[in-house]
Structure 1
């Protein structure tokens, strides 16, 4: 497996420095600080979470409010449904989620288990398509949901596809927290596990993200072998054993293979 290369501009270097818009970057950091644990925030709280000054946080919040992406009662701020248009723009502009969705639904219908697809974004995976039959995790998942990459099956497939330098950088900055007693948090052991995932072409994660959850993932590749996404099935550990889950691997692999001709070169 080899990952597709993503080029990111460094605002502190070369030509990009002259085009980097600090105000835009600050506004995006304000949007990102709102999540399930921070649904409503004051100006001071936003400033603390983003590292911005209180005055800068205030200007960003008021600008977002004027544009309709934020609402306020004069003290606290919260996101409005209009913010979903930003995510919808991605889903509308790339064919990947549209190509994945019917395949996930077919796999889910065949195995009677939830099937999902995600991409890697920094230290997290982001769900871009999902077909759910039952809830197998305490947190509700849907398109746009984010989970840590290091302890999820799709995350490990995507991390295993990174170039060695990119993977080293990830392991150097990632916070490997023990979410359950089974979570792998040692960087050396994680590196070894990712090498195993790369060699076998799949990842099985057993109750490392949440007790009672097992998941199995495979890469979604184009004709050149570039890993564009990951696809998985999630099951309840008390209902499906590791062996039974591995028995579903051929179905998952066949589904991923069916996408290769559709994903270009």
Structure 2
């Protein structure tokens, strides 16, 4: 066996451990419910130490309880991400649970209005929560990671609207298109430091953000008829992709969008 073959064999032998998050400290925003909670639980189940971030202490405690029941470790850190000036302090508080290896930006808001009815206040609120907060939170974390010469993985949450535009949600579409651009820019800027930035694009999942839409029979029928898998996503469906992107198995992947949409964009 030549040297190249030996190296390839060694690489294959270490693959199972490369997918583990054991020893990694991962922040998850929006971890109190929905997609954020589902991904936080997946990270904890795969050995990661989670710091769960959300406004609601009660919801975070529930996430921590679910993680413990699955044998995982989850610390809670209540915070209001719309307070952009407080994000540096938030990162320092999270780092008390250990050096930060990665983050999942699952927190977000939605607003359904005709474009002609959207106010500047509407627009600014959605931009702050969905675009500015993830950007400034990641840059605060990256400063620590670069100071510590620690590689990292930053996982942003986009949507179908990172690739297409859907009606009556213009501010949301702007943020989900924007977050893909942010991740691509950060990936180019941080790659040499071993810090990666990728985007997961969920399709239609049953969450707080979609319950009003799915409560309308005509809209639900339209959506279900468009999904090739003929079902809505479950928050646990994002876990595999999130864990992969946070793990060493994805160490050569950055600046990419991964759609988890039941086949919507492929149909």
Q: What is the TM-score of this pair, normalised by structure 1?
A: 0.24
Q: Which one scores higher on RCO, CA 8 angstroms, separation ≥ 6?
A: 2
The structure carrying a bigger strand percent of its residues is 1
The structure carrying a bigger helix percent of its residues is 2
Q: What is the TM-score of this pair, normalised by structure 2?
A: 0.24
